[in-house]
């Protein structure tokens, strides 16, 4: 079963949104490569002074290998992420009420 990856970064969501515009082609290229590497779903969430990424991957190893891509570090640095993101990986549970 796939895993859910939650990455929490202390960074202004406005700066991240500005990067979506200025480096749009980089985000699109990385997304294409992520899909090839095993990403099933991906989205950014904005909070007060926090940006969160929620992904679904085929397995934790695929995510960890992909996350080492230097393009990702470059985007985080340009956005102003000062410290390593908190990354949590969860295995999905097959409950009878899942939808």
Domain of 41: which CATH number?
A: 3.30.70.100
Yes or no: say if 87 and 58 are a contact pair by the CB < 8 Å rule. no
If one counts the domains in the chain, the total is 1
* Predicted model pTM: 0.92
pLDDT digits (tens, 9 = 90+) for 17-76: 999 999 999 999 999 999 999 999 999 999 999 999 999 999 999 999 999 999 999 999
Query: In the structure, what pLDDT confidence band is assigned to residue 9 with cuts at 50, 70 and 90?
Result: very high
**Helices 13-22 and 24-37: crossing angle, nearest 10°?**
90
Is the per-residue pLDDT at 1 higher than 90? no
In a domain, 99, yes or no: no
In a domain, 72, yes or no: yes
pLDDT of residue 55: 98
CA nearest neighbour of 13 among 50, 41, 40, 42: 50
Q: How far is CA 91 from the centre of its chain?
A: 16
Domain housing 67: 3-91
9 Cβ contact list (under 8 Å, min separation 6): 50, 51, 52, 53, 76, 79, 81, 85, 86
In a domain, 96, yes or no: no
pLDDT of residue 29: 97
Q: Which three-class secondary structure state does DSSP give residue 2?
A: coil
pLDDT of residue 31: 98
| The token pair that represents 35 in the structure block | 């899909």
In a domain, 63, yes or no: yes
In a domain, 14, yes or no: yes
In a domain, 21, yes or no: yes
């Amino acid at each position: 079963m796939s895993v859910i990856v939650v990455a929490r970064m202390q960074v202004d969501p406005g700066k991240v949104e500005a990067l979506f515009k200025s480096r749009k082609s980089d985000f699109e290229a990385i997304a294409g490569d992520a899909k090839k590497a095993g990403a099933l779903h991906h989205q950014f969430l904005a909070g007060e002074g926090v940006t969160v990424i929620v992904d679904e991957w085929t397995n934790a190893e695929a995510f960890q290998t992909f996350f080492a891509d230097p393009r990702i570090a470059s985007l985080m640095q340009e956005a102003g992420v000062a410290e390593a993101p908190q990354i949590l990986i969860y295995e999905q549970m097959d409950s009878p009420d899942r939808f």
